[in-house]
Amino acid sequence: MKRVFRLLDAIRRPTAGVLATAIAALALPAVPVAAWQGGSDRLAIVRTFAEQEAAREQPAYRAQIEVGTLNPYLRLAPCNQVEPFLYPGARLWGRGFVGLRCMEAGRAWSVSVPVVVHYFGPALVATQPIPVLTPITAAQVQRAEVDLTRDQGGIATRFSQVLDHTLQLPVAVGQAIPLSALQVVPAVRQGDAVTIVGRGAGFSITTDGIALGAAGPGDPVQVKTESGRIVTGTAKRGRVVELRF
For the chain, the domains span 2-31, 34-119, 120-184, 193-244
What pLDDT is recorded for position 96?
94
What pLDDT is recorded for position 39?
56
- Residue scoring higher pLDDT (107 or 161): 161
Q: Report the pLDDT averaged over residues 211-223.
A: 92
Domain 193-244 has CATH 2.30.30.760: yes
Is pLDDT at 142 greater than 70 in this prediction?
A: yes
Q: Which residues are bridge partners to 168 per DSSP? A: none
Mean pLDDT estimate for the chain:
83
Q: Report the pLDDT averaged over residues 102-118.
A: 91
Q: Which of 24-33, 46-55, 101-110 has the highest mean pLDDT?
A: 46-55
What pLDDT is recorded for position 40?
65
3-state secondary structure at position 31: coil
Q: How confident is the model at residue 108 (pLDDT cuts 50, 70, 90)?
A: confident
**CATH of region 120-184:** 3.90.1210.10
Q: How confident is the model at residue 200 (pLDDT cuts 50, 70, 90)?
A: confident
Q: Report the pLDDT averaged over residues 78-84.
A: 89
What pLDDT is recorded for position 110?
92
What pLDDT is recorded for position 42?
80
Structure confidence by residue, pLDDT tens digits, 153-192: 899 999 999 988 999 999 999 999 999 999 988 889 999 9
Q: Report the pLDDT averaged over residues 33-54.
A: 74
What pLDDT is recorded for position 7?
42
Structure confidence by residue, pLDDT tens digits, 69-79: 888 888 888 88
Q: Report the pLDDT averaged over residues 34-53.
A: 75
Q: How confident is the model at residue 140 (pLDDT cuts 50, 70, 90)?
A: very high
What pLDDT is recorded for position 105?
84
CB environment 51-87: b (16+ within 10 A), e (fewer)? eebbeeebeebebebebeebeeeeebeebeebebeee
